[in-house]
A and B are shown apart, each in its own frame.
Chain A
Amino acid sequence: MTAVDFRPPGFENNDQKPIGYGRMLRKEDARFIRGKGRYVDDVRLPGMLHLAILRSPLAHARIVRIDTSAAEAHPKVKAVVTGAMLAERGLAWMPTLAGDVQAVLATDKVRFQGQEVAFVVAEDRYAARDALELIDVEYEPLDPVIDVRRALAPDAPVIRTDLEGKTDNHIFDWETGDAEETERAFASADVVVSQDIVYPRVHPAPLETCGAVADYDRVSGKLTLWSTTQAPHAHRTLYALVAGLPEHKIRVIAPDIGGGFGGKVPIYPGYVCAIVGSMLTGRPVKWVEDRSENLISTGFARDYIMRGEIAATRDGKILAIRTHVLADHGAFNAQAAPSKYPAGFFGVFTGSYDLQAAYAKVTAVYTNKAPGGVAYACSFRITEAVYLVERIVDRLADELGMDPVELRLKNLLKPEQFPYKTKTGWVYDSGNYEPTLRKAMEIAGYHELRKEQAERRARGELMGIGVSFFTEAVGAGPRKHMDILGLGMNDGCELRVHPTGKAVLRLSVQTQGQGHETTFAQIVAEELGIPPDDIEVVHGDTDQTPFGLGTYGSRSTPVSGAAAALVARRIRDKAKIIASGMLEVSVADLEWRKGAFHVKGDPTRAVTIQDIAMRAHGAGDLPEGLEGGLDAQICYNPENLTYPHGAYICVVDIDPGTAKVKVRRFVAVDDCGTRINPMIIEGQVHGGLADGVGMALMEMIAFDEDGNCLGASFMDYLLPTALEVPDWETGYTVTPSPHHPIGAKGIGESATVGSPPAIVNAVVDALKPFGIRHVDMPLTPSRVWEAMQGRPQPPI
């Protein structure tokens, strides 16, 4: 028999292919690089129709009348659906991940510009768009609530008149920490610094927008839905609850996804419309939003207006931090966060420091804007928490006349303090912070940079050095505390080893480019000694994969990665028993060496995992009580989150004539514990750092006073190109997570979380000669120029 190599040309010599952890080129590249990826808009089914959505031009208005007759008369149109029609079927509203409801199609009134009002199903995508123009909607404009600071005024118009008894725009108040203890710490402090800080509304803007193909089979009653979802299983359950379809008759398929960044966690009205469209027409229906629709209507990120306060002794011991936050959640509370955490994990705002006390209060309100809040690699609001603490620590350093690095070194948690319980109740698993910061300083040449800065400053040049040190909290989460709409945040893994020793690993998490097909194979390879190319990783099909909550919050490695290691160990345990039968020795006499069991003291008497797999499926007796086959399944309930950390240093130059900020250097040292694939980790970090440059310098979803969205296209919503970012300089330290089976922590969002404060700190540092203490993002030339003229303005 001749061996057949199924690897495509160029992949046969994937030389750096460890059996286990290490740099390994990606398996998934083979298709993407040839244009053979299969994204939602690539799905084409016989008889497929196309759906387009009519959206509100106004931020707040009563719907007086909708006339769809002209659209219905269009020769290529198969269906026109309004909110009233959905209401008849009980589908006009759907639950959100935050336990609120959101209109699928507006019935009574529209509540943000871009809101879904009606949809058309037609024979092609051009005709569907044409027909939207033929729908006539009469609106009665209402006063919009745009400025979140005015949303709670007694005379503010009430947005959510649909909620019974609702007479204001207040969503919730949430508190953490100890207010009185914090008060006392502040009273005893030598120095108190207070700073208003806005984290403006931005958008994850994955390059592929959201979309779906719904195929409802009237004969079998089965719905198949291809969709851009980061959480296919959770979506399936929600569709069962919304549409009333039995869950076993729903198959959600997340094919290749062109980036998610949290933007593909919620269920959007478009998905529901596609399902309804398919049920109505009996044909497959495709919906793919365009970029403007993506930016104007899908989940935004941030929009936290924070007052941060920090108390310290004169010699720089930080005593306490407190903060009040006003959170703009838009018209519906659709924030994707664990049920018991309405402000996400903002409670980790105490950062990497040993404090005496801390307190935070978050007040969330409705405004006439699109819903969202948790997205864009935020790890459930940790972007906001880290930005707050790293900005106010820098403000304190300035106030004390201390070097920002020295202030941090003085206050960082010490390795012997871990596991460390923060004043807001989070138990950091492990950390060795100082070496991480020292390493970043070494790579950057920190002290030389300060010298250079002094020289340049003397010449009137504007150079800034910014530091941030962050602790992340990722891997939600323990089911005792964490659920999404009642679904515990556990993740499954199923591993089947075939007779010839090849394997299939089925995941409940869903890659959107993070390389799961490669790294999860590496985890199993490390545990079982099966080459990673012999392990097929399957994800994104709810009919084929075990239940779990999906990929976001950097939770894949902490939760599903743990499951993959443990399921492989379960296989190994069984393999050991089979091996004992094959070698005719007791289990206690066997020793595992990656890929084989051998008799202790005699390495020549050995059976490989492949031999064992054949035996497990083959003829002949197995040891007493053992079933045939070599499969296992697991559902992993993490005992805690993982807490990766990092030290970032940014160097900027500002053109004194134009106020343009140039990020000259960026050093990122991350510690995510055990590193499964360093190449992929670096790529994750690079991408997140570019996000940081975007948010700090360019990106913002703004609104005018009428509620018109001013960031609704790539002409206005500016993303970094190759020109705005430098070559990234990365480094790492390794502090494994003690509770994780392979000591690995999440990493995906660290750079997005950690980089904005480093950049803003650098810009503020550069502007010190102007007496500037703070400038809010995005630090566009005009905003920096205004600040240089003594007129720093908040962005909203």
Chain B
Amino acid sequence: MKVTITVNGKETSAEVEDRTLLVHYLRDVLNLTATNVGCDTTTCGACTVLLDGESVKSCTVLAAQADGREVTTVEGLAGEDGTMHPVQKAFHEQHGLQCGFCTPGMVMATVSLLKENPRPTEEQVRAGLEGNLCRCTGYHNIVKAVLAAAEETA
């Protein structure tokens, strides 16, 4: 089937199989490889993107389901001139990433979290990111980064 999906503000269109997962549409069709695959059971959240502004795990959405909708990936987060989004900046400054594999999903989940709750408590941050696994950071600096980003954007 043919799908038309606005990704990071640009309209994209392709013929895909019905079963094509959104994450593979982004990675294999559009060559937007920021969004990662870390599991096969919708557990890890490395594939988190925004679908019409809400965070979703793109391994558990068909490309067909995103037809006619808007997707934002981490590639679409920085400004035109490359200026980092406050969440990206906070992850860098708080050392909220190591291998970087969970980072795109973690950053997108954070963007969504801060939209829903601009001034979260530490507990709310931890609960809000429960759908995103990280194997490197022990979460400590990620939580600090989210709180710093909240401070910055509030």
Interface residues of A (CB under 8 A from B): 8-11, 25-26, 28-39, 41-42, 44, 124-126, 205-209, 256-259, 261, 290-292, 512-515, 679-680, 682-690, 713-715, 719-723, 725, 727-728
Residues from 7 to 61 in B contacting A, C-beta threshold 8 Å:
17, 19-20, 24, 27-28, 31-41, 43-44, 46
CB-contact partner of B127 in A205, A720, A723, under 8 A: A723
Complex-state Cα separation, A533 to B46, whole angstroms: 30
Cβ of A696 to closest chain B Cβ, rounded Å? 14
Q: Which residue of A lies closest to B129 (CB)?
A: A722
Apart from A683-B141, A687-B98, 8 more pairs, CB < 8 Å: A29-B97, A32-B97, A35-B32, A37-B101, A258-B36, A513-B99, A683-B136, A686-B138
Across the interface, do B97 and A33 meet the contact criterion of CB distance under 8 Å?
Answer: yes
Using A25-B92, A207-B134, A721-B133 as known contacts, say yes or no to A514 and B34 having CB atoms under 8 A apart.
no
Q: Which residue of B lies closest to A26 (CB)?
A: B95
Residue in contact with B139 in the complex, picked from A8, A37, A688, A725, CB distance below 8 Å: A725
Q: A607 to B79: give the CA distance in the assembly, Å.
A: 42
8 Å CB contact of B91 from A9, A33, A715? A33
Contact yes or no, B82 A9, CB < 8 A: yes
Q: B residues within 8 A CB of A26?
A: 92, 95
Chain B residues closer than 8 Å to A208, beta-carbon distance: 36, 38, 99, 101
Which residues of the partner chain B approach A514 to less than 8 Å between Cβ atoms?
98
In the bound complex, CA of A487 to CA of B109 (Å): 45
Q: Which of B24, B100, B127, B138 contacts A513 (CB 8 A)?
A: B100
Of chain B, the residue at the smallest CB distance from A208 is B101
Are A714 and B41 in contact, with the CB atoms below 8 A?
yes
B65 at the interface (CB under 8 A from A): no
Q: Which residues of B contact A124 (CB under 8 A)?
A: 28
CB < 8 Å: which of A9, A38, A257, A714 contacts B39?
A714
Tell me the complex Cα distance, A67–B36, Å: 35
Prevailing SS type, chain A contact patch: loop
Residue of A nearest to B101 (CB): A258
Name 6 A/B residue pairs within 8 A (Cβ), A-sorted.
Answer: A30-B92, A33-B100, A34-B34, A41-B33, A259-B99, A290-B40
- A44 and B31 contact, CB distance less than 8 A: yes
Residues of B whose CB lies within 8 Å of any CB of A are 17, 19-20, 24, 27-28, 31-41, 43-44, 46, 73-75, 77-79, 81-84, 88-89, 91-93, 95, 97-104, 107, 122, 125-127, 129-143
Do A723 and B138 contact each other (CB < 8 Å), given the known contacts A32-B100, A207-B102? no
Contact A719-B137, Cβ < 8 Å, known A34-B88, A208-B36: no
Residues of A within 8 A of B136 (CB): 259, 513, 683, 687
Top 9 A-B pairs ranked by shortest CB distance? A35-B34, A513-B99, A32-B100, A258-B101, A686-B138, A714-B43, A513-B98, A690-B138, A42-B33
- The reply to whether A39 and B101 form a contact with Cβ atoms under 8 Å apart is yes
Q: What's the least CB distance linking A129 to chain B, in Å?
A: 11
**Contact assessment for A205 and B84 in the assembled complex, using a CB-CB cutoff below 8 Å:** no
Residues of A within 8 A of B88 (CB): 10, 33-34
Return chain B residues, CB-CB under 8 Å to A513.
Answer: 98-101, 136
Bound-complex Cα distance A279 to B73 (A): 36
Cα distance A25–B91 in the bound complex, in angstroms: 10
Residue of B nearest to A32 (CB): B100
How many whole Å from B92's CB to the nearest CB in chain A?
A: 5
Q: Which residue of A lies closest to B73 (CB)?
A: A35
Given the interface pairs A10-B88, A261-B135, the reply to whether A727 lies near B36 with Cβ below 8 Å is no
Give, as a whole number of angstroms, the nearest-CB distance from A709 to chain B.
14
Shortest Cβ distance from B89 into A: residue = A10
CA distance A684 to B136 in the complex (A): 7
A282 to B37, CA, bound (A): 28
